[in-house]
Structure 1
Amino acid sequence: MARERRKAAAQSAPQTIEEATALAARYVDLLDAIELERVEAQSAIDEVLAARDAVIAPREEELKDIFRQLRPWWTANREDLTDGKRKSIELAGAQLGDRTTTPRLAAPKGMTQGDLTDLLVERGLRDLVRTRHAIDKPACLKVIRWLDREEPDPAATAPERFQDAMMRALGEQLVAIGTTVTQREEFFIDRAGDRNQDPEIVPVEGEAE
């Protein structure tokens, strides 16, 4: 037996300008309250992260120092510790030794990875270069909207006529495969005035530290 669909609750709407004004004011108050909560939360998060980093930083420096001390000790004692049969040992709950790193492509000396990429393309080795494709949406919108323009003036220059023909040809190809430009009017509510100003957090007098 098919379940009956529940009807959405009827949405009430203000009947007077006074009611609409009250709702708009409440909307802005809610926006301000939400933004203030986000700012205060981020401030608290920043304080926690700063406290965490203050504790971690010296420990990380100590880790590096210990690593620098144990590396030459391992090099000098590797053979005795492993009888030449292993690449690592366990020591006080730590595993230390030698391991092979992940293969990494190194560019020729004096050349960056970008330089190497350009060189491979110049030499026709495109099979060794990864290409990423993405739609140029602004360009697509431009050529489709170009179709709404009037034909070039008879006095237009040859380059202007060539550009018009090229833009129309591209736009017509997009339209032919079903591509369209969509745009609609939508209702919005926002703060009046400066929307980029963040709310200021003012400390309360006598607030506990």
Structure 2
Amino acid sequence: MKLDWMWHTEQTDEGTCISLTFNSTVNLLPEVAGLIGPASHGADLTFGEFRAAAAAMSLYDKYHSENDLLALCASLYRPASGGKGRPVRVPFDTDRLPEFMRSASAIEPYLRWGIYAWFAYFCHYLYTGTFLMDGQEVCFAPIFARAPSTDEGQSDGIGLNSILYSVAESGVFGTASDIEHTPVLRVMLKLLYDKQQIDRLSKRNKK
């Protein structure tokens, strides 16, 4: 298996220029080294594993540590749980990340880049694209439109820790621990609803 199609290579006066051309939320690597990855379009991606993977990606982009890239892969690709039917990943648990990283160390380095490419584009699409949820098209871009610049502990301009505790405070999905196991798209839908409610109240007060 090769991932040459994910990249564009061009010779310039400065040397070889390699750019990422992958632009799909379809996960073309559903299973790697016996580990199960997330479903296409982030359909089964929980908020907890998304938060862990986003933090690892942010660190990798900043320091280029292979350990951070491995942590990103381990957050998304885990052993299959027992049971019949389509294999699913064991639930994500931050405390088990070192264990998951040991399992993910079997993933070939070039496949780790493929996982990085998918997740990086998924994050971009989450902040800019449109998802089909319950038969309706939903765009989460308004949530991030006025987010502060990226700092440590934030991902692409929004603090995921802040999201965790603000949503937990509402009690819609339960405790902070419950939210970690809630689909990330559902959490984002809650944030979008709250923003729309605030915008409506703001417009009403300005009249």
TM-score greater than 0.5 by the shorter chain: no
Q: Which has the higher contact order (CA 8 A, sep 6+)?
A: 2
Structure of larger gyration radius: 1
What TM-score do the two structures reach when normalised by structure 1? 0.15
TM-score with structure 2 setting the length: 0.15
Q: Looking at secondary structure, tell me which structure has more strand per residue.
A: 2
